[in-house]
Chain A
Amino acid sequence: MLLTGQPVEPQLEFVYYPGCSLQGVNWEYDASFRAVCHELGISLIELDGWTCCGGSSAHSIDPVLASRLARENLALAGKSGKVLVAPCPACYQNLRRGQGALPAANEKPQRAKHGVPPPRKLADSQAGQARSSRPGNSQPCLAHQGVEPTAKEAAGVGGECFAAPTTLVFHVNEFFHQPPVWNRLRQAIRRPLVGLKPVAYYGCLVSRVGATPGSREVEDPTHLEKLLELAGASVCPWAYKTDCCGGSLGLTRPAIVNDLVAQLVDEAIKAGANCLVTDCPLCFANLDGRQLDVLRKDRELRLLPVFYISEVLALALGLRGVATWLSRHCVDPFPLLESLGFSREDLGKQTESWQV
């Protein structure tokens, strides 16, 4: 008999695919996501030996190579039998694309007339595992023609096509919306973010991966808004939530991206927001890093702090050490947070306020 009377919670374990950008420029996303999961008692096991998903370059030059890179990682994850979490939408897109067979030519997609396709659930992973373990056929798929299998793969570890293409892959939004995770999150909110008025910015990829064109979820996803409302913020509606930030063109055509960033920030301010919240590292890099460049040309623009969804959740959970992440942002978020009543002690801020 349990003395506390609390039900024993199931242990939650996920395989974690951080991706290259979360280990480099966007390490705050990685650190804050890990911290939030740690606080909620969810263990993230980093996928051992993961490799780059190919970013936007692999599918730009060679769709078959992109599929190979994705399946290599799916094969690694498939061995564990757990659900894979990929916070970066580009990784998520590539992994999900690698799961499907290469799309059949001349196949007209079904358009959703009514309602939304059912969300994918944790329970699906068991079904997926069962499917992936069926005896394979000897013909390699298109993505693996010309690639010799390793000894283990040849021995059948990893499923019919070296990979276990049915490994369930979650993005951060889907991950937090799984009922066991959601319930823990709801109970753990200690510091509702009253006064935070964000716009939710999904970027272009998340809502379109595996989407049914014409369904409401494609043009008007609401995952982030629900998470932000759970954190106590009052979300501002806007029409630019799935617009593109320019992605990797930030490096090759900065002028186009600066233009898009200026438009997004402008529209967010018109919507009455005091910050932008995103779940995409590339959107963050463009929005946060380039606002100052835009400002240099366009003096009218007001700076708007940008947060990762995991940072907002960490603030709402009352985690300490948030400042170590926030002080890396190019647009200073501290004045906004201080106006919401966060003291320096709350945030664990050590350094003095800095100037651009």
Chain B
Amino acid sequence: MPNPLSQRAPGLGQDLARCYQCGKCTAGCPIARGMDIPPHQVVGLLRLGQVEVLSQAESLWLCVGCGACWVRCPNGIHVGELVDALRQSLQAVSGGGPGQDIAKFHQLFLEHIRRRGRVYELGLLARYKIVTGGLFQDLPLAVRLLRRGKIPFFPPRPPASRRSLRVGRLFRLFTFGKVRRSETRPATEV
């Protein structure tokens, strides 16, 4: 049975009817302890078409994509890829659900690549902490790393303009939380 969402992301093409709710994904999931909706329930809710519930779930952003659910699932369902696909299809990036700070982190990370070609960690971290208002959350760790000389205070290399131009081209047609124009979508597209 095809699931109610579109087929354009690979994770969503999985046959979820195979899931018999054994819960092995949740048992193996390292993050399940902090999740509001554990992995097997994500699959269950999606089968029932409870898309609104899922779009407001923090679990959607907590998944780290480690793949434990997939290697242990007796039916080969990759909940991580499912969640990756859900994030985009539900346009959860622009939605107001919980876990928006994690979504913000991913956005800043990608913006960083788009502009610089590579990631300069201190710059990214500082920006993330400022944007989310948690500047002092991890201060002891940051001080520890800086004192050890683990984080270089300045970017290791100046960003090469040609490189970032080349990368920028890969981001064309990519807009956060919006549908990419180039993709073949059913005529029902808004």
A residues near B, CB below 8 A? Answer: 20-21, 23-25, 27, 49-52, 54-65, 68-69, 72, 102-106, 108-109, 111, 145-148, 150, 204-205, 208, 211, 213-214, 218-219, 242-244, 246-249, 251-256, 259-260, 289-290, 292-293, 327-330, 356
State in angstroms the CA–CA spacing of A146 and B174 once bound together.
Answer: 10
Question: B residues within 8 A CB of A62?
Answer: 88, 174
Q: Is the CB of B33 within 8 A of A256?
A: yes
Given A51-B166, A145-B183, does the pair A25, B119 have CB atoms closer than 8 Å? no
Q: Is the CB of B140 within 8 A of A293?
A: yes
Cβ of B102 < 8 Å from any Cβ of A? yes
Q: Is the CB of B9 within 8 A of A208?
A: no
Contact of B10 among A105, A327, A328 (CB under 8 A): A105
Q: Is the CB of B121 within 8 A of A63?
A: no
Cβ of B182 < 8 Å from any Cβ of A? yes
Instruction: Classify chain B's interface size.
Output: 35 or more
Question: B residues within 8 A CB of A260?
Answer: 30
Question: A residues within 8 A CB of B162?
Answer: 49
Question: B residues within 8 A CB of A21?
Answer: 119, 121
Q: Is the CB of B67 within 8 A of A204?
A: yes
Cβ of B138 < 8 Å from any Cβ of A? yes
Question: B residues within 8 A CB of A244?
Answer: 30-31, 64, 66, 68
Q: Is the CB of B14 within 8 A of A105?
A: yes
Contact of B167 among A24, A72, A214, A255 (CB under 8 A): A72
Question: B residues within 8 A CB of A329?
Answer: 148
Q: Is the CB of A243 within 8 A of B30?
A: yes
B147-190 vs A, CB cutoff 8 Å, 1 = contact: the mask equals 01111100011001011001101111110100011110000000
Given A20-B119, A21-B121, A65-B170, does the pair A51, B163 have CB atoms closer than 8 Å? yes
Q: Is the CB of A55 within 8 A of B109?
A: yes
Specify which of B34, B93, B182 lies most central, judged by the most chain A CB atoms within 10 Å of its CB: B34
CB distance from A190 to the nearest CB of B (A): 28
Q: Is the CB of A55 within 8 A of B119?
A: yes
B105-125 vs A, CB cutoff 8 Å, 1 = contact: the mask equals 111011001000111111001
